[in-house]
Chain A
Amino acid sequence: MLKIGKILLYAAAVVLALLPVVPVALLFLLAFSEHPVFIEGFTLKNFEFLKTGVLFPEHPVYSKLYPNVYTVMVNTFLLALGNMLLVVLVASMAAYVISRYSFKGRSALLGAFLVIHGVPASVLLIALYYMLRAMGLLNTLAGVILVKMSVDLPLGVWVLKGFYDGIPWDTEIAALVDGTSRFGAFFRVMLPLVSPGLFAVGLFSFLSGWGEYVFVYTFIQSSTNWTFSLLIQSLFGEMGGINLALVAALSIVYLIPVLVIFLVGEKYLVRVTIGGVKG
């Protein structure tokens, strides 16, 4: 009796573990498939675009509709990197002050960060569109990066505050007694100690910028500023029924950094996930 229960439990766990993995595995099979819409055989021909970045070399007119894959790759990377650097920089400073000093409005500020994080930024799209337009940042990657980092910032502050809270005061006081300034203590003692936190928030913001769709779709018009998400969505919309394997191959290229970060930093991402609460 007990044995059967145990076997059923393990079977359920295995099924549960397979559920999210199967779709991704299917994507890989499709990307290497000889048939354009069904999974059949194995070939590398779907990845031909990697040579020149041109998606449809045999159809020059059609190709012109889409930006070069490498341009898109650079744009996506800039967005992810810009988001990561800004979030880590700004959040690491703010979280330090919030964790270490008591000042008027401290809990109000923390509360505001939490509330802001709870309400998705999608509700602000109209106003943000208006503002970016007024600032001349519409249709630029810089505009998207600014919006994106402001959305990811509250989570970064919350998570990093947790990491700073976990470091005993003694460490900092020791540094101060040894004669360094408060800023020196922050920069040379505290930052290295919270580096797992910086790493976690950095990975998370990089992924968040890398995968961003709505802001790019809404704020960017010209295809030279496209990111992977726009290119894939556009191709899937127009070619979904014709050459799905090509779209899948492009998706695999798009996925490589995500999978690497997932494998390397899964336990860091978990900490960000619990720190910031969003479904």
Chain B
Amino acid sequence: MGRFWRLVGAAVLALFSLVVLAQEEDDPVKEAEKQKKQLLEQSGGILPSDLYVEQGEQLFKARRGPKNASLEACDFGRGPGKLEGVVGRLPRYFFDTRKVEDLDSRIRTCMIRLQGFQPQDIRRSDVVAIAFYIASLSNEQPVTVRPLMPQEKKLYELGEQLFYLRAGPRDMGCATCHVTYVGKRAGVLPYSDILKDKRAASHWPAFRYSNDQAWTMADRIRACYANLGMPAPDFYSEPIIALTLFMNTQARGARMDLPGFIR
């Protein structure tokens, strides 16, 4: 009898620990932390995202393009060459281009204006690496995006309207999942709560360990559209900047985790 109950006890404990394990894997934040620790142990302290940051720093400081200039004089909103914390202030209006720009499009602007690149000669992978470098200098800084300029307010409104727009053969739109089905799963990951969870927008650009990809918010938005069976907006285009402005404004007050490390 005693042995029987010990066995039952062991079985219950085993079941319980299984449940706990399963719960841990259900939480994408905990799962990512576990993966990060594992990767750090395997590589002796270097994450793949560190390599993108390193590559981005080299690209940022090197004299490149037809004008043989570096990007060090680029103004991300805090003045030329000031990079600390800038990711948490973007997108914002820039007087030199008279446009609201996000991190990606501002990097592109500086590659055109400072280095003399033609738009078609700008490599996406270079922009992503440079975005990772700049992001690394905003780690643990707060998101402070607040649309104040008329141009920013207008684009925020349009971003919000676009967020709720449903279209396409599957009747989809951003809010269809990221408002109505927050926390539910279709596939592996639960839908993030873009309106209420400040962490949702504050970890971009990010490294995705599940497919070994470096993504900025633009890549994330484009992948969402592809999942919805719709063509994605072009890189550096206004719909991407409008949606980013809308989402980053919801994240105001969050402490950034950059570059992000996600599934």
- Chain A bound to chain B: no
Chain B residues proximal to chain A, CB less than 8 Å:
none
Q: Interface of A with B (CB < 8 Å)?
A: none
